[in-house]
Structure 1
Amino acid sequence: METLAMRQSRFAATGAFALAGVLVLGGCAASGGSADEPVTLTFWGTYGNGGNSAQTEVLENELIPAFEKANPGIEVDYVDMPYDGLKQKLTTSAAGGELPDLIRSDIGWVAQFAELGVFKQLDGQMPDFEDLANAVYPGTLQTTSWDGHYYGLPLNTNTRVLVANQSALDAAGVAAPPATFDELRALAAGLAGKGIAAFADSGLNAWNVMPWIWSAGGDIADEDLTTSTGYLDSDESVAGVQLLVDLYQDGAIPNLITGNTGATSTSDGLPSGEYATILDGPWMQDIWAGQYPDFTPIYAPVPAGDGGSISVVGGESIVVTEATEHADAAYKFVEFTQSEEYQLGMAKAGQMTVKPEFAAAQAEIAPYYEAFSNQLETARARLPIPQAGEVDTILNTELVPAFEGEVSVKEALTAAAKQIDALLAENQ
């Protein structure tokens, strides 16, 4: 497996943070701190999404007490927030210099706040960081990177796999979910005229389209994040999107994918038999168990193209803020989050582990996790840049006309690549 040092050697050195002065304005100063002195670490997160949950109960009643017992003199004060409100709180607090020591950050926020100088660089700073980084799924570590360095460690993860409805597969005369692009096309042909869509998805963001592009052998940018042109509009990337466009234009994918809010959602369309397959994550298991108790989802890898079967990484990271005055104590808690006790404790509460070594034990907790753990072996991160939200807007805007037949897939991806080039240039 590629090591941290190997990954870092691929980054281009691009200079200092553009907006690191935020810390000066906020009066924040990073201090080494000492775990030998009594300290209290403030930890912001969204485990309960603003309320009580099994995850917050495990954290507050089992895991934090275990950490405090093993580390006398360090207390952890966990503050739960609504998911939608945490980023706003983080933004306003950074400007006012009132940040916590630790944050459970959405992976999409890491590059943005690293650029602003809010999150602390961990590689080269935190003891044993390289060993900890080498122990997680490579795709999850990618989500913590920015400007050649790492600003957190993966805390929990997820990915999308193909989920199928067996009755819909039976209607097409196939026994198993499609394992390849060609088998997905065959499934669509077998369902033609039967009122069942072969596949459905709810958008054209990177979360939606990158599994198809990567699996076709394409990519969104070069490894050094300097250009999208030549990658997003390559023949391989075009082939991945063309598969979806062809199926859409043949009526095998509903217009939910292009933004029709009146279409049946994937969460309802799959168990009802309206859709044969979708891409989704492990959180759906409990949702379907409550809403569709007679439905048994079938989990399978993303259909493989010339690039293999590759999906996209989701989840959260654990980060240390530059405002902390107790860096050493914060590092100890970050290291604890990577332990078997923490990772499997949260797995029992519905969070997937970021470490392959715990995958088998996690599958004993819930067997359906196995399909997701297997997919995580090759899953990749979306572009780790501060403008990731703009990338999603570009992809949606440019790809919808291709699905509607107004432009070719090549033209759509070329237009998107040029706009993404401009975003990448801002970070050089």
Structure 2
Amino acid sequence: MTNKWSKISLLLLAILLVATACGKGNEGASDPGKDSAEKQITLTFWHHYSTASPEEKTLTGVLIPKFEAENRGIKVKPVAIPWDDLHKKLQIGGSGGDLPDVARLDIIWVPEFQKRGLLQPLDERFSDFNEIAEGLLEGPLSTAKVGEHYYGLPLNTNTKVLFWNKDMLGQSGIDKAPETAEEFFTALGKIKAKYDKSWGYGEPALQGWNILPWIWSNGGDILSPDFTTADGYLNSEATIDIVTKLRAAYASGQLAGFKPGDVPVTEGHAGGSYAMMAEGPWAVAQFQSQFGDFAFEMAPFPEGSAGSVQVLGGEDLGIFSEDKQEEAWKFVKFMVSEAAQVEMGKIGQIPVNLDAMENPEIKAVDYYAPFLEQLKTAKARPPIESWPQIDGVLSDTMSSIFMTDKDIKSELDAAVTKIDGLLQIN
């Protein structure tokens, strides 16, 4: 009897052990899900796409969901911040430690944040950097290089072309857009003779973005190739020559747009105040949305002795993250991939991905063609930390030259002294 109950006890014990093991097995089955949730990585992405803009809608409604579907375990939290506020927030965050994992940066910010040690050197961190970089436009890619290393990848690019009013030029006896600087200045005089209350050309500011194309195309520059001095460049004969011609055009009432109270340039071009202007693809969108009846024309920027050289604009993607670098790199690579670039390209962001530029959907955007051609010779502003301050000196100097009859070389010499001082500080 005792032996019988012993056997029963052993059987019950075995059943209990199996049940316990099964219970542990079920408990273990829930752990992977829990561990998976704990391993979920969230990337913060600060950008300056306007809220509810087509770009922001495509980012949040198309691109991020696609990236997350292709990269299980990585979530992206986009944060929209206005351009100037984003710059300040990154500056403050760099001091306080509150920074995003990835950010969309104006190309002129990269040297500043690189010098502060906030951006990751991508070509040193990631073994496939060169493979990715080879598939991108060389000009935009150069904007992310500081010294010997790359601290970002280009996200989108832009430049400016010459917009011209075919009717105004035709009425002035000009049957095509001016192809050279000489033809341009001759056209200004003819337009003024026909349209006394209008201007041949509108320029909204006198900063580097506006003035450098004229200087570069005329064979001048603002800094030496190694960015160590402005002497012999900003005050060179080539620079003096083109600035003299531009000031004479302004003094003759042939050029306007940069003074407070002047007719806004893009609106003024559509309204007949300015026969010509140099602007980017955003002007096309503005014409189409606000001035549907205006028949605008586009042409290459007028050639000088050095060719037709416009300024390169755009944004780069930079990685700030210290502990999520691999995940951040995956997101950056996705954003510069053909698929993502095509999606953004369809709504007005000129791609930097070479395959995307050849994509039929991008080629179908008819107004891209002049900009893509101009990009072949576009040039980036100096990739140095002190550029914002140098740009301020340039703008102030040009304002003084245009608004007064001061000696141009003397004004440029004074600017050289200030700029060289800034270069020494940095």
> Per the shorter chain, which TM-score range?
0.7 to 0.9
- Counterpart in 2 of 1:375? 374
Report the TM-score, using the length of structure 1 for normalisation. Answer: 0.85
| Higher normalized contact order (CA 8 Å, seq sep 6+, divided by chain length) | 1
Instruction: State the alpha-carbon separation in 1 of the partners of residues 344 and 329 from structure 2.
Output: 19
Where structure 2 has 5 or more consecutive residues not aligned to the other structure, the ranges are 1-38
Contact 1:181 1:243 in 2 (8 A): no
Which shows bigger deviation, 208-217 or 87-96? 87-96
The answer for the alignment partner of 1:89 in structure 2 is: 89
Residue 184 of structure 1 aligns with which residue? Answer: 184
The answer to whether the aligner puts 1:316 opposite 2:318 as a matched pair is no
Distance 1:356 1:247 in 2: 40
Q: C-alpha offsets along residues 201-244 of structure 1, whole Å, 9 cap, x if unaligned?
A: 01110001000011111111122211111112122222232231
Shift of 1:128: 2.4
Whether 1:202 aligns to 2:204 is yes
2:15 alignment partner in structure 1: none
Q: Residues 189 and 377 of structure 1: is their aligned pair in 2 closer, same or farther, counting only changes over 3 Å?
A: same
- Deviations 1:39-95 (CA, angstroms, capped at 9, x unpaired): 221111122x2x222212211222122222222222222122222321222222222
Greater share of helix residues, 1 or 2? 2
Corresponding position of 2:334: 336
Q: Which residue of 1 aligns with 2:237?
A: 235
Aligned position for 1:285: 284
Residue 141 of structure 2: aligned partner: 141
Structure 1 residue 360, shift from structure 2 partner: 4.2
Q: 1:403 to 1:231 in 2, by over 3 A?
A: same
The CA deviation at 1:356 is 4.4
Amino acid of the residue matched to residue 70 of structure 1?
Answer: E
Task: Look up the SS of the partner of 1:317 in the other structure.
Answer: strand
Q: Are the equivalent residues in 2 in contact too, given 1:159–1:311 (CA < 8 A)?
A: yes
Structure 1 CA distance for aligned equivalents of residues 288 and 274 of structure 2: 18
AA in 1 matched with 2:109:
W
Partner Cα distance (2:202, 2:354) in 1: 30
Give the C-alpha shift of residue 370 in structure 1. Answer: 0.9
Partner SS, residue 271 of structure 1: helix
What is the distance in 1 between the residues matched to 2:264 and 2:406?
27
Establish whether residue 165 from structure 1 lines up as the match of residue 147 from structure 2. Answer: no
> Is 2:338–2:353's contact at 8 Å kept on the other side of the alignment?
no
Mark the CA change 1:72 to 1:231 in structure 2 (over 3 Å): closer, same or farther: same
Query: Could you list the runs of 5+ residues in structure 1 that have no partner in the other structure?
Result: 1-36
| Cα gap change, 1:212 to 1:347, in 2 (>3 Å) | same
Any conservation in 2 of the 1:42–1:78 contact (CA below 8 Å)? yes
Q: Is the 8 A contact 1:167 1:273 kept in 2?
A: no
Q: Which amino acid aligns with 1:188?
A: L
Contact 1:363 1:370 in 2 (8 A): no
Task: Name the CA distance, whole Å, in 1 between partners of 2:363 and 2:237.
Answer: 42
Separation (CA, whole Å) in 2 of partners of 1:131 and 1:244: 44
Query: Which residue in 2 is equivalent to 1:248?
Result: 250
Alignment of 1:9-408 (within 5 A): 38-47=40-49, 49=50, 51-193=51-193, 194-195=195-196, 196-254=198-256, 256-257=257-258, 260-321=259-320, 323-361=321-359, 363-408=362-407
CA positional deviation for 1:405:
4.5
Higher alpha-carbon Rg: 2
Instruction: Give the drift of 1:101.
Output: 0.8
C-alpha contact 1:106 1:315 (8 A) present in aligned 2:
yes
Aligned length in residues: 386
Query: Which one is further off, 382-391 or 208-217?
Result: 382-391
What amino acid does structure 2 have at the position aligned with 1:330?
A
Question: Residue 296 and residue 235 in structure 1: after superposition, are their counterparts in 2 closer, same or farther (change >3 A)?
Answer: same
1:348-407 alpha-carbon deviations (Å, 9 max, x no partner):
122111234433436534211111111111111112222222112111221223223422
Contact 1:121 1:152 in 2 (8 A): yes
| Greater Cα shift, 234-243 or 262-271 | 234-243
SS at match of 2:223: coil
Q: CA separation in 1, counterparts of 2:404 and 2:83?
A: 37
Mapped contact 2:339–2:356 kept (Cα < 8 A): no
1-side partners of 2:288 and 2:378: how far apart? Answer: 26
Instruction: Indicate the residue corresponding to 1:9 in structure 2.
Output: none
Superposed CA offset, 1:96-142 (max 9, x none): 21211100111121111111111111122223223333433333223
Which stretch of the first structure deviates more once superposed, 298-307 or 64-73? 64-73
Post-superposition CA distance 1:247-286 (Å, at most 9, x none): 11222112x33xx211111012101111111111101112
Q: Which amino acid aligns with 1:329?
A: E
Contact map agreement 2:122 2:150 (CA 8 A) in 1: yes
What TM-score, normalized to structure 2?
Answer: 0.86
**Counterpart residue type for residue 234 of structure 2:** L
- Alpha-carbon distance in structure 2 between the residues aligned to 1:224 and 1:346: 35
Q: What amino acid is the match of 1:88?
A: K
**Whole-Å separation in 1 of the counterparts to 2:286 and 2:296:** 11
Q: Which residue of 2 aligns with 1:409?
A: 408
The RMSD of aligned alpha carbons is: 1.9
Cα separation, 2, equivalents of 1:253 and 1:132? 44
8 Å contact from structure 1 (residues 94, 118) kept in 2: yes
Give the conservation status (yes or no) of the 8 Å contact 2:337–2:353. no
Q: What letter corresponds to residue 165 of structure 2 in structure 1?
A: N
Greater shift, 266-275 or 360-369, is seen at 360-369
Output the CA distance in 2 between the equivalents of 1:370 and 1:137.
15
